[in-house]
Amino acid sequence: MIPLCSCPPASETVQLLTTDALVEGIHFDLSFTSLRHVGWKALLSSFSDIAAIGGRPLNATISIPQKISIEMIDISDGLASEIHHLCRSSGLGAVVYEHNLTMISVTQAIASEFNGHSVDYALDGSEEYELLIIITDKDFEVLETLPGDTSIIGRTQQREEGLELVGENGEHTSLRSTGWNHFPRS
C-alpha cells in the first residue's frame, strides 16, 4: 500500500509516501475475510500512518502479497478488454458466462435508456474500479468460500480455444476486446 498525501509543515507542501503490505495468513485469512475487507484494512493501515504524522491521505496503491497463485488487473478500462489483457499476458483463453455477469440496476437503466443491451454495457463500460482475478484450479475452492462481493464470471481455458462469451441460451460467441483504449492506433 502506498498512499500519497500532502502535509504542509510550514509554508511548503511535502508529499509523504508509505507502504504497509498485508500478508495472507498473517494479517488476514481469506477463508473468512472478504477481499473488500482486506482492501479496506490495507488502505486504512497506511492512511493511519500518514494521519499520525499530521498528513492528509490523498491517493493510494495497494500491495497485498498472497500465498495463492493469482493474476489480477483492475477493470477500469472495461471488463472485456481487461480479460483480453490478462489472458494475453497469462497465455490463456477464457470462457465468460453472461448469466454470471453482475449488472447493477443503474447499468440496466442506462442500457435501456439508450436502447442498448445491458451485457454490452457490463463488458464494454469503464470506470468500474473492480478487480478481475485469475486463480489456479487448486485455489478455486478458496474463492468459492468468500462472501457475496466476489463474482465468478467464467473460467480459463487453453489459449488455442480463444476467448468466448456464452450467452443466456448457451450460444458461444467470440469475446470482443472492447472498452477504453488509452493509445488508439490511427
CA–CA separation, 32 and 146 (whole Å): 7
- Per DSSP, the three-state class of 157 is strand
Q: Which residues contact 154 (CB under 8 A, 6 or more apart)?
A: 94, 95, 96, 97, 100
Nearest to 123 by CA among 64, 174, 70, 66: 174
Helices (H) and strands (E) in the chain, counts: 5, 9
Q: Cα(110)–Cα(71) distance, rounded to whole angstroms?
A: 31
Q: Is 135 helix (H, G, I), strand (E, B) or coil?
A: strand
CA–CA distances in Å: residue 178 to residues 5, 122, 125: 34, 11, 9
pLDDT, averaged across the chain? 77
Kindly list the domain boundaries of the chain, sorted by start residue: 4-59, 70-174
Instruction: Give residue 5's pLDDT.
Output: 39
pLDDT band at 183 (very low <50, low <70, confident <90, very high): low
Each residue's pLDDT tens digit, 65-90:
655 666 777 787 788 988 998 888 88
Instruction: For residues 100 and 168, give the distance between their C-alpha atoms in angstroms, rounded to a whole number.
Output: 10
C-alpha cell at 79: 471488463
pLDDT band at 161 (very low <50, low <70, confident <90, very high): very high
> What are 132-160's pLDDT values in tens digits?
888 777 777 766 666 666 778 898 999 99
User: d(Cα 70, Cα 22) in Å, to the nearest integer?
Assistant: 16
| 70-174: CATH topology | Phosphoribosyl-aminoimidazole Synthetase; Chain A, domain 2 (3.90.650)
User: Would you say 116 and 57 are in contact if contact means Cβ atoms under 8 Å apart?
Assistant: no
DSSP 99: G
Compute the average pLDDT of residues 117-129: 78
Cell representation of residue 88: 494475453
